[in-house]
């Protein structure tokens, strides 16, 4: 059912839409910048055996894994550290069978108006302590040791892609049932109230639940009526696809209390209005979709979303982009705010522009390009994290060894701290029912204390 959460009055939605069309985005300034070089690698089995090198960087990578590109971000174990999720490897299901699905802990040393190196280093995944490189202890690798997934994974085969013409599957993948970029295309991750991870996949699309060690805890969860051509049931001929290839859960937000997920598809489901994307609510307690659904309308220049994160229990930030870069086309890279309680006359969420990533003020020229204006023209920008009411962390996915973001070499990953002049309402706002329960509980406590004093 569409938008089953009680909406505000239609007049409020109309007024909000009018305000959106009349007001420009709030001012935004680059206050911190750091760069991770494209050729940043981690320990692991040989990768890139089925992909093509680019930007002067050949493949395969002997006995190592690419750390990038990053498709999602979470707060790290200590202040100033972050956990970034690498996506499926080299961009497709057909070339990423030897690339491990991982989370990496990093600590950017942001260049600011008062100093800073503008570099990025590895951090211990558990403690946040500095590490010399991305070796054991700096990352978490997804695995299915108990054979809970119903889909076939590379660990089930003797040779990659189950083809006699291909190399043997690395022993570490087989023995530990490590998950790879041919098994799932994870593009989003959240941690729930119980400390478990939930990953949003594009191939199914599926939701994947793991424990804090990255071990799968249950069978993958599909979405009724939504399936990409890579969905296992489509591959087996059981159902027909209703979604384009790899157009699944690019964005996924969590409610502030960790009890709900909000999944955002990257593609339009067959039969839905053109350029609209579904947002669905999912309950952590029941491990099922609630039936609540909303529609996100892409801009005329927008072709994809990159990430979705919660501001509070009803407002969210969404990165929207096209595929153009500084070397090709006209880049469109913006962050919008939506409110699940406010829809327009067509039933689409009303959007307010928060940041134009192609037009940030950079009075201190933090990236050293000689300009007081900063642009972020990378193909895919897939990570946004709210640091406080006035500050966002944003990073691109460099699609290693992809090129063309700023020049024809392999793209680096840049980490931005963006100051917003207009504050976000980051404090969770209780629903009326929750507020009533809270007040009732406080009343009972007060009554008990009076009785104790009496």
Task: Say whether pTM exceeds 0.85.
Answer: yes
For all residues of the chain together, what is the average pLDDT?
91
What is the per-residue pLDDT for 2?
60
Per-residue pLDDT reduced to its tens digit, 53-78: 999 999 999 999 999 999 999 999 99
Mean pLDDT within 35-60? 98
pLDDT computed for residue 431 by the predictor: 44
H or E stretch covering 432? helix 432-453
At 355-411, the pLDDT tens digits run 999 999 999 999 999 999 999 999 999 999 999 999 999 999 999 999 999 999 999
Region of 375 please: left (phi>0), alpha (psi -120 to 50) or beta. beta
Q: For residue 9, what pLDDT is reported? A: 38
Sheet holding 207-210, edge to edge: 186-191, 197-201, 207-210
Q: Which two tokens mark 444?
A: 């009972």
5 or 95, which is more confident? 95
Report helix, strand and coil shares of the chain as percent, to nearest 5. Answer: 10, 40, 50
Nearest residue to 362 (alpha-carbon basis) of 115, 114, 36, 113: 113
Instruction: Give CA torsion, residues 166, 170, 171, 174, to 10 deg.
Output: -80
pLDDT single digits (tens) 416-444: 999 999 999 996 544 444 444 444 444 44
Tokens of 106: 């990093």
Tokens of residue 96, six digits: 């990423």
Would you say how long the chain is, in residues? 454
Q: Does residue 203 have a pLDDT over 70? A: yes
CA–chain centroid gap for 273, Å, is 24
- pLDDT at 443 (0 to 100): 46
Give the separation between CA 83 and CA 32, rounded to whole angstroms.
18
> What is the rounded CA–CA span in Å between residue 260 and residue 141?
24
pLDDT at 3: 57
Q: How many CB atoms lie within 10 A of CB 406?
A: 18
Q: How far apart are CA 241 and CA 263, in angstroms?
A: 19
Question: How far is residue 202 from each of residues 107, 183, 323, 332, measured CA to CA in Å?
Answer: 28, 11, 18, 23
What is the reported pLDDT for 27?
83
In order of 101, 102, 151, 287, 315, the CA distances from 210 in angstroms are: 12, 12, 16, 13, 27
Which of 1.10.287, 3.40.30, 2.120.10, 2.30.29 is the CATH number of 10-453? 2.120.10
pLDDT tens profile 325-349: 999 999 999 999 999 999 999 999 9
Residue 205, CB half-sphere, CA atoms under 13 Å: how many?
33
pLDDT at position 1 is 54
CB under 8 Å, gap of 24 or more: what pairs does 11-20 form?
A: 12/342, 13/342, 13/343, 13/344, 13/345, 13/350, 14/344, 14/345, 16/339, 16/342, 16/350, 16/352, 17/344, 17/345, 17/350, 19/352, 20/350, 20/351, 20/352, 20/353
The 10s digit of each residue's pLDDT in 250-297 is: 999 999 999 999 999 999 999 999 999 999 999 999 999 999 999 999
pLDDT score for 121: 98
Distance between CA atoms of 34 and 419, rounded to whole angstroms? Answer: 15
pLDDT digits (tens, 9 = 90+) for 116-166: 999 999 999 999 999 999 999 999 999 999 999 999 999 999 999 999 999
Nearest to 203 by CA among 48, 53, 87: 87
């Amino acid at each position: 059912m569409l938008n089953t959460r009680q909406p505000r009055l239609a007049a409020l939605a109309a007024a909000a839409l009018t305000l959106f069309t009349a007001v420009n985005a709030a001012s935004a300034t680059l206050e911190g910048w750091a760069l991770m070089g494209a050729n940043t690698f981690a320990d692991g089995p040989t990768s890139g055996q089925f992909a093509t090198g680019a930007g002067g960087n050949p493949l395969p990578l002997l006995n190592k894994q690419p750390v990038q590109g990053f498709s999602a971000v979470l707060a790290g174990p200590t202040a100033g550290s972050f956990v970034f999720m690498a996506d499926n490897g080299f961009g497709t299901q057909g070339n990423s069978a030897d690339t491990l699905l991982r989370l990496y802990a990093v600590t950017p040393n942001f260049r600011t108006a008062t100093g800073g190196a503008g570099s990025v280093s590895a951090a211990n995944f558990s403690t946040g302590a500095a590490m010399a490189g991305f070796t054991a202890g700096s990352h978490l690798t997804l695995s299915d040791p108990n054979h809970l997934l119903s889909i076939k994974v590379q660990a089930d085969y003797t040779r990659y892609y189950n083809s006699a013409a291909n190399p043997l599957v690395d022993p570490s993948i087989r023995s530990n049932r490590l998950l790879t970029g041919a098994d799932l295309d994870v593009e989003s991750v959240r941690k729930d109230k119980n400390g478990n991870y939930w990953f949003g996949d594009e191939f199914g699309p599926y939701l994947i639940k793991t424990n804090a060690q990255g071990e799968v805890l249950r069978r993958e969860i599909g979405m009724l009526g939504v399936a990409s051509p890579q969905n296992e049931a489509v591959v087996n001929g059981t159902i027909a696809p209703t979604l384009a290839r790899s157009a699944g859960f690019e964005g996924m937000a969590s409610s502030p209390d960790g009890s709900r997920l909000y999944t955002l598809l990257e593609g339009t489901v067959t039969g839905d209005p053109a350029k609209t994307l579904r947002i669905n609510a999912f309950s952590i307690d029941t491990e099922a979709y609630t039936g609540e659904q909303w529609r996100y309308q892409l801009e005329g220049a927008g072709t994809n979303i990159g990430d979705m994160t919660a501001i509070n229990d009803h407002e969210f930030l969404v990165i929207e982009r096209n595929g153009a870069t500084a070397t090709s086309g006209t880049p469109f890279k913006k962050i919008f705010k939506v409110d699940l309680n406010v829809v327009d006359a067509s039933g689409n969420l009303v959007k307010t522009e928060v940041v134009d990533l192609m037009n940030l003020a950079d009075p201190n020229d933090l990236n050293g390009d000689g300009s007081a204006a900063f642009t972020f023209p990378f193909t895919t920008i897939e990570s946004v994290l709210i640091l406080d009411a006035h500050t966002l962390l944003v990073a691109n996915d460099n699609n290693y060894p992809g090129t063309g973001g700023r020049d024809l070499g392999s793209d680096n990953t840049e980490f931005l701290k963006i100051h917003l002049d207009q504050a976000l309402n980051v404090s969770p706002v209780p629903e009326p029912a929750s507020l009533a329960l809270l007040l009732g509980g406080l009343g009972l406590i007060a009554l008990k204390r009076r009785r104790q004093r009496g």
